[in-house]
Amino acid sequence: MGTLAQEHDCLLLDLDGTVFRGHELTEGAAEALEKTPGRALFVTNNASRSAGEVAAHLRALGLQAAHDDVVTSAQSAAHVLAGQLAPGSRVLVVGTESLAAEIVAVGLDPVRLYEDKPDAVVQGHSPDTAWANLAEAALAIRAGAVWVAANIDATLPTERGLLPGNGSMVAALKAATDADPQVAGKPAPTLMLDALARGEFRTPLVVGDRLNTDIAGANAAELPSLMVLTGVNSARDAVFAVPEQRATFIGHDLRSLHQGAHELKVGPQAAWQVDTDGSTLTVSTTNHDDGDGLSIVRAVAHAVWSTPATTVKAGDDTAQAALQRWSLT
């Protein structure tokens, strides 16, 4: 069996928290992506920048990326609206000029004020979004405008830590309007499917750090996924994830793409014996090597997902140390 990267002809890579955090690459990202044999598409929920700007940022960080290698939730949001509105319809933009440009690209007319009588509202991340912008959108939504959010990520991973994301601003508008937006980005499948339309791929793989967007989006699009631990969610989060947010594979970071697919897959692991007694799992060591240190996470995740167990305990000191490392007890 080959490595995970060798078994998939296209990687649908999340950016924030997976490939980079702000202006810094995640651990091993450059080396891992350089060695990847298939097509790498960068699929981002962040609608603040154009595909060209994102590609330029990736190149500045030392990665190879062309305009057509980037798929943004701004593009998907524009496509969603174009499918529902007549050409030339007015769309109130809460977001950057890059988001407004995507609205123009699909034949719609971007505006910024409620007085412009918009037929729809599109909302994407912008660090400059203020109360006044939300007020214009709230008036339009309450008047019946179609509302599409590029994404609903509550936080945005940066080199400084987690900052408010578009989902936090969406939550403010939901509270102000008692309405719910259509969502173009992950976890809806639209963004993934838009990415797959860039080529004829047989074995795509979604790679991301966030369970409720990246992994849920992969499952919604019926695609396998690799969860990496470089961003928002933890190993414990992965183990106790709800069914629609469960990953196929779990790895430390993008370097995991070059480990064996069988090693990364959630399932029974040779290094660990897991016994079930009602709602309790007991994990004990065997005489096998635990590989990259995450094998216990994959083993416990498999057991939790396939049994009614809600409590995990160790059967020996080695298992106890491993479980504590990942906050599983």
**Which residue segment(s) compose the domain that 97 sits in?**
83-183
In a domain? residue 256:
yes
Last residue of some domain: 234, 263, 292? 263
- Quote the strand ranges of the chain, DSSP E: 10-13, 20-21, 24-25, 39-44, 70-72, 90-94, 109-111, 120-123, 146-149, 155-158, 161-164, 182-183, 204-208, 225-228, 249-251, 272-277, 280-285, 311-314
In a domain? residue 250:
yes
pLDDT of 113 above 80:
yes
Claim to verify: residue 276 and residue 255 sit in the same structural domain: no
Structural domains of the chain, count: 3
Contacts of 178 (CB under 8 A, 6+ apart): none
pLDDT of 287 above 90:
no
Place of tokens 């990942």: 326
Model confidence, pTM: 0.92
Q: Which of 16, 69, 153, 209 is catalytic?
A: 16
pLDDT at 159: 82
CATH value at residue 286? 3.30.300.290
pLDDT of 158 above 90:
no
Give residue-wise pLDDT tens across range 30-82: 999 999 999 999 999 999 999 999 999 999 999 999 999 999 999 999 999 99
| 14 assigned to active site | yes
The mean of the pLDDT values for the chain is: 97
Last residue of some domain: 163, 183, 203? 183
- Quote the strand ranges of 198-299, DSSP E: 204-208, 225-228, 249-251, 272-277, 280-285
Whole-number Å distance between alpha carbons of 221 and 204: 11
| 214 assigned to active site | no
Q: Which of 14, 119, 194, 290 is catalytic?
A: 14
